[in-house]
């Protein structure tokens, strides 16, 4: 088996492990992903994200992001507001007083990922994070290759 085949097999396993552990029972997987981004942005600097920024970070379709954001807004977990510099841009921010549900889901997610760290060890977990960071840094190259493959 080639390194690319092994990577694909591992990638699929990890993706299924995350999605199928049902660690996000109270929220859909997409709601959990978007809330994690918003939570980290808020936690770091009480910031917010635009739909465009969420799309770039998640690679979700904007229509899916809009549906998910609307669902989170209906649950009272986030608020939408116009960007002060560009009124056409909608910004999204988590509501700090209504984070209990997300924090419950987040805690469950962290306990599962801690179990993975316990199994593979901190050194390998940190190595995995460094590799993902390399991929993020090479994102533009990755996207160019993806477009080339799709056009063939």
pLDDT band with cut points at 50, 70 and 90 for residue 92: very high
- Token pair in block for residue 47: 């910031």
Task: From the options 1.10.3210.10, 1.10.10.10, 2.60.40.10, 3.20.20.70, give the CATH code of 25-101.
Answer: 1.10.10.10
Predicted local confidence at residue 15, as pLDDT: 76
pLDDT band with cut points at 50, 70 and 90 for residue 64: very high
CA neighbours within 13 Å on the CB side: how many for 147? 6
Predicted local confidence at residue 66, as pLDDT: 95
Q: How high is the mean pLDDT of the chain?
A: 86
Predicted local confidence at residue 137, as pLDDT: 81
3-state SS of the chain: helix, strand, coil percent to 5?
70, 10, 20
Please identify which residue in the block is written with the tokens 């979700």. Answer: 60
Which residue in 84, 85, 110, 87 sits closest to 32, CA to CA? 110
In terms of pLDDT, which residue wins out, 87 or 16? 87
> Above pLDDT 90, what percent of the chain?
41
Residue-by-residue DSSP string for 44-81: HHS--EEHHHHHHHH---HHHHHHHHHHHHHTTSEEEE
pLDDT per position as a tens digit, 112-149: 889 889 999 999 999 988 988 888 888 777 777 766 76
pTM higher than 0.85 for the full model?
Answer: no
């Amino acid at each position: 088996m080639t390194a690319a085949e092994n990577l694909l097999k591992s990638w699929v396993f990890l993706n299924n492990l995350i999605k199928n552990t049902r660690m996000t029972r109270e929220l859909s997987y997409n709601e959990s992903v978007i809330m994690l981004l918003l939570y980290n942005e808020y936690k770091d600097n009480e910031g917010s994200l635009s739909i465009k920024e969420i799309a770039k970070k998640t690679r979700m379709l904007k229509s899916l992001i809009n549906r998910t954001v609307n669902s989170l807004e209906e649950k009272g977990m986030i608020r939408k507001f116009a960007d002060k510099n560009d009124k056409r841009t909608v910004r999204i921010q988590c509501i700090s007083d209504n984070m209990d549900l997300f924090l419950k889901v987040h805690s469950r997610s962290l306990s599962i990922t801690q179990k993975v760290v316990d199994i593979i060890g901190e050194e390998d977990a940190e190595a995995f994070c460094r590799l993902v960071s390399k991929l993020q840094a090479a994102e533009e190259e990755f996207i160019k290759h993806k477009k080339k493959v799709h056009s063939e």
